[in-house]
Amino acid sequence: MEVLIRDNPDVGCLLGAKMFASVIREKPHAVLGLATGRTPLRLYQELIRMHRDEGLDFSRVTTFNLDEYVGLPATHDQSYRYFMRENFFRHINIDQTRTHVPDGTAADLHTECRGYEQKIADAGGIDLQLLGLGRNGHIGFNEPTGSLRSRTWIKILSEQTLKDNSAVFGSIEKMPKHALTMGIGTILDAKRILLLAFGPAKVRAVEHMIEGPLAAICPGSALQQHPRATVILDENSAAGLHYADHYRWIDQHKFDWQRTK
Ligand code: F6R
């Protein structure tokens, strides 16, 4: 796992955006795995800027989002399909038919999950998968103790996740309690992974993910098994790491070709 500690979330998101831009420039028909939530917003803003100012071309890109709430239609302002359209897709030249978000309103959710896996496979797999990290260590909506080899499935949201995400719904009661999410096995199949985690609320999850044992109690720790996983942190989220100096040392002594850019 490559661990990069940056001064603040802004710098971290700009670096993350550069990674996405270089994948798209190298492979114009890249398949990108995307995330919602507060963390990646700045990264999306920077990609939008690159599209506007530098002509970054999304016209042949395909995207797959990690997850969606069960029961929320695309028109619901808290659905992840809505989030993606408002915060990213409508600002770039992406072909909307190439953007995929699990359908949480599907009549048969199991069939929807299996179909989602098939669509990812048909697209040739994910070139770069973006992840955030839940305060409880979740990735996608894979909550603690979920199988480390899971495929796209239906998950029950933990109380912690409901608390963390309920503000925008007004109350926990108004929030969906279930979601469709890529499984951890699905995520690990991506050729490359970029996880962003910022702020003091993530400090414990970050420590478990990077320095704890590989364990289903911290789904993010599954990234320890991935051959090309990069984690970008800020000083606050990295504050609990025991080997922060080691990560900085490695970062400073890389060959230029090894650097994430
Ligand atoms: C979002 C997702 C979640 C979030 C995580 C962190 O699609 O899959 O795992 O990445 O809950 O959320 P924020 O970024 O809001 O702290």
The domain ranges of the chain are: 2-228
Distance CA 228, CA 246 (A): 18
State which H helix or E strand residue 83 sits in.
Answer: helix 80-87
Reported pTM = 0.98
Is the beta carbon of 13 within 6 A of some atom in ligand 1?
no
Which regions of the chain are under pLDDT 50?
A: none
The pLDDT value recorded for residue 212 is 97
Is the beta carbon of 134 within 6 A of some atom in ligand 1?
yes
Distance CA 166, CA 198 (A): 19
Out of 3.40.190.10, 3.40.50.1360, 3.90.25.10, 3.40.50.10900, which CATH number does the structure's domain 2-228 have? 3.40.50.1360
Contact 66, 181 (CB under 8 A): yes
Angle of helix 41-54 versus helix 9-26 axis, rounded to 10: 50
Closest CA to 3 of 200, 243, 185, 191: 243
Q: What is the pLDDT of residues 26-49, one digit of tens each?
A: 999 999 999 999 999 999 999 999
Expressed in angstroms and rounded, the spacing between residue 189 Cα and the centre of ligand 1 is: 19
Task: Report the largest interatomic distance among the alpha carbons of the chain, rounded to a whole angstrom.
Answer: 53
Closest CA to 132 of 38, 18, 9: 38
Q: Report the nearest-CA residue for atom 8 of ligand 1.
A: 140
Expressed in angstroms and rounded, the spacing between residue 255 Cα and the centre of ligand 1 is: 32
Which structure tokens are listed for 209? 């993910």
Catalytically annotated residues: 67, 136, 138, 143
Q: What is the pLDDT of residues 118-145, one digit of tens each?
A: 999 999 999 999 999 999 999 999 999 9
